[in-house]
Amino acid sequence: MPERFNRRWKVVHSEASLGWGGQERRIMAEMEGLRRRGGQSWLLAPRGSELFRRAPEAGIEAREISLSRWKFPFTAISAAAWLRRLHPHVVNTHSSRDGWLIGFAARIARVPFLLRTRHFDVPISSRIVSGFVYRSLADHVLTTSPKVTAHFQELFRLGPDRVSTLPTGIDLVKFAPSGDRAMLVPGERQGLVPLVGMVSVIRLAKGHETLLAAAHRLRREGFKARYVIVGDGPYGESVRAKVRELDLEDCVTFTGHREDVPSVLRALAVLVIPSIHEGIPQTAMQALATKTPVVASNVGGIPSVIRDRVTGRLVPPGDPGALARAIKETLQDVDSTRLMSEAGRALVEREHGLDQMLDQLETLYGRYLPG
């Protein structure tokens, strides 16, 4: 490891989200990765969050924060006092509410480097209000895709020294092409029909209903496949209702949340990412790493890793017809699909490994914390 990465960084992460999706997984990967390299990480999060529950299991201290607006001043002052005692090098905020709360606390405590990570490509509700957060409560903004970086540079007039891109790094050993394949369809022999799946939190922005509409079209055409929805979330019942409405109960399987994502991806014939808006989803790069073919929406940061006809196939968001055609082509044009899968694995190995992400993070810390 280069000498500049031997510094024992002390980094505090904050996260308001209660769920367990790509954003939370990345935070955990950063905390665990820094710990392996000899640094120290802490987490500030609500007690009811999945990150708060999982952090101690990984040997990371988690401190509870209240997200109540009425308690905002008291929580900020308390957090600032704790930060003064801890003397971290970096505070990294990840969501809107903790961005305000812990951003103020870090400024009060005079933390040397305040970093704000923006994980998604979603509309900014207020340019003025958000501009204060990204300019005044962050020394640097880190995004997960070049498109979001360019948008922030334009929207908030942030120079290249104030905002940069760092996609989530993938564990190339864990997400190897060879390995176990999950059993996703109970009571059936896998392999009789191809498995077409989504692996994500079930929420509106992920586009589950677009996949179901595409499945309905393919079924009417006589194209046989089974559709597997892996994950859960606030939009789950709505998606189940759509399955019933389209009479797809006999060809759609809900697995719920799964921790064995590498084996899930290896079991799929196609991973579908029909998002309405997105950064760079971790499942896209994980699928490339396992050589699982990908069909995805041409939105957000997705095209920077799913390069059309190079590492996968892209379709317009919200277009079931285009999605259906791309799924069918992926499964029928075996030679082209295999070449795309090979190119995808090479891309992840070359640019998106976990160690590469950690190296770039430490380089960023060093820019703001010399000596």
| pLDDT given for residue 335 in this prediction | 98
Task: Answer yes or no: is 180 within a domain.
Answer: no
Query: Within this chain, do residues 249 and 313 fall inside the same structural domain, yes or no?
Result: yes
Query: Within this chain, do residues 333 and 364 fall inside the same structural domain, yes or no?
Result: no
| pLDDT given for residue 186 in this prediction | 78
Which stretches in the chain have pLDDT values below 50? 1-4
Task: Answer yes or no: is 185 within a domain.
Answer: no
Q: What is the pTM of this model?
A: 0.84
Distances (CA, A) of 329 to 188, 267, 317: 25, 19, 18
Query: Within this chain, do residues 133 and 218 fall inside the same structural domain, yes or no?
Result: no
Query: Within this chain, do residues 346 and 206 fall inside the same structural domain, yes or no?
Result: yes
| pLDDT given for residue 128 in this prediction | 77
Query: Within this chain, do residues 163 and 209 fall inside the same structural domain, yes or no?
Result: no
Under DSSP, is residue 294 helix (H, G, I), strand (E, B) or coil? strand
Query: Within this chain, do residues 345 and 360 fall inside the same structural domain, yes or no?
Result: no
CA–CA gap between residue 164 and residue 184 (Å, rounded)? 38
| pLDDT given for residue 1 in this prediction | 41
Query: Within this chain, do residues 340 and 362 fall inside the same structural domain, yes or no?
Result: no
| pLDDT given for residue 4 in this prediction | 46
Query: Within this chain, do residues 102 and 27 fall inside the same structural domain, yes or no?
Result: yes
Give the DSSP letter of residue 231: B
| pLDDT given for residue 3 in this prediction | 42
Of 341, 334, 165, 349, residue with least CA distance to 265: 341
| pLDDT given for residue 235 in this prediction | 93
Task: Answer yes or no: is 190 within a domain.
Answer: no
Rg (CA), the chain: 21
Query: Within this chain, do residues 86 and 41 fall inside the same structural domain, yes or no?
Result: yes
Query: Within this chain, do residues 122 and 26 fall inside the same structural domain, yes or no?
Result: yes
| pLDDT given for residue 189 in this prediction | 61
Burial of 223 (0-12, 13-18, 19+ CB in 10 A): middle
Task: Answer yes or no: is 27 within a domain.
Answer: yes
Residue 118: φ, ψ to 5° = -110, 115
Helix, strand, coil abundance in the chain, percent, nearest 5:
45, 15, 40
Provide the number of structural domains found in the chain: 2
Task: Answer yes or no: is 71 within a domain.
Answer: yes
Query: Within this chain, do residues 207 and 95 fall inside the same structural domain, yes or no?
Result: no
CA–CA gap between residue 222 and residue 65 (Å, rounded)? 53
Q: How many CA atoms lie within 13 A of 67 on its CB side?
A: 17
| pLDDT given for residue 157 in this prediction | 85
Task: Answer yes or no: is 147 within a domain.
Answer: yes
Q: Which residues contact 48 (CB under 8 A, 6 or more apart)?
A: 18
| pLDDT given for residue 6 in this prediction | 53
Task: Answer yes or no: is 336 within a domain.
Answer: yes
* Residue 73, domain CATH: 3.40.50.2000
The whole domain housing 282 covers: 195-351
Query: Within this chain, do residues 114 and 236 fall inside the same structural domain, yes or no?
Result: no
Task: Answer yes or no: is 244 within a domain.
Answer: yes
